[in-house]
Chain A
């Protein structure tokens, strides 16, 4: 079964420090995509970063980087130089890229990690 596991319900980080949010995934498909979304209290899911299963290099987007370790099936999000506005829920998600009964393109989400940035 395809599954995303986020083991940290909550994390605290000091402003300007770096923080790593953990994500492990489970799939037997060779092709998949991994995403991180941010969900502030307003409720909207904001796309942060994407890593394809065949990408050789770790994805980076500004202060966000994805530490992709394929053998360990982990896709941790690293936020550098944390800002107060980074306080939010963070969700790791996996995209199904091989159709199983029409599921190609569907996202499977973890339970999320609540990040709190302290001034």
Chain B
């Protein structure tokens, strides 16, 4: 069974440029999470989807970050415009619905903003 797929694995951009990250969860997992992991820190939740609905986006900086999960499968996280402080690893995770099941993580996208 394929795991959570993320692309790209690495991205280097200039500040003020836009950037997008893509995540394909494990088949059958209705819940999808995006986490931000700064260097030397644990992951912090940005947004959680149940199917197409964003049920918790309280930690998403909505002035520059946006996310979508069309058709309740793949998801895209976008930053526009990127700032130097956005350099981090962006992790995607998925689980069965309801929030009571184990989360499976993808390999992450390491973003460097110059």
Contact = CB atoms under 8 A, between A and B. Distances in A.
Interface string A12-34: 00000000000000000000000
A97 interface: yes
A66 interface: no
B102 A109 contact: no
A97 B56 contact: no
A97 B93 contact: no
Interface residues of A, number: 26
20 contacts: A43-B108, A44-B105, A44-B106, A47-B103, A101-B56, A102-B55, A103-B56, A105-B99, A105-B100, A106-B33, A106-B48, A106-B56, A107-B33, A107-B43, A107-B45, A109-B42, A109-B44, A111-B40, A111-B41, A112-B42
Interface residues of B, number: 27
Given A47-B103, A97-B99, A97-B100, 19 more contacts: A37-B105, A43-B89, A44-B105, A45-B43, A50-B102, A91-B42, A91-B43, A95-B99, A96-B99, A102-B48, A102-B55, A102-B58, A103-B58, A104-B99, A105-B31, A105-B95, A106-B48, A107-B45, A107-B103
B79 interface: no
B93 A45 contact: yes
Contact of A44 (B41, B48, B100, B107): B107
B104 A47 contact: yes
Nearest to B57: A102
Contacts of B33: 106-107
Interface of B: 31, 33, 40-45, 48, 55-56, 58, 89, 91, 93, 95, 98-100, 102-108, 110
Given A104-B99, A110-B42, A112-B42, A44 B108 contact: yes
Contacts, number: 62
B110 A43 contact: yes
A57 interface: no
A56 interface: no
B102 A47 contact: yes
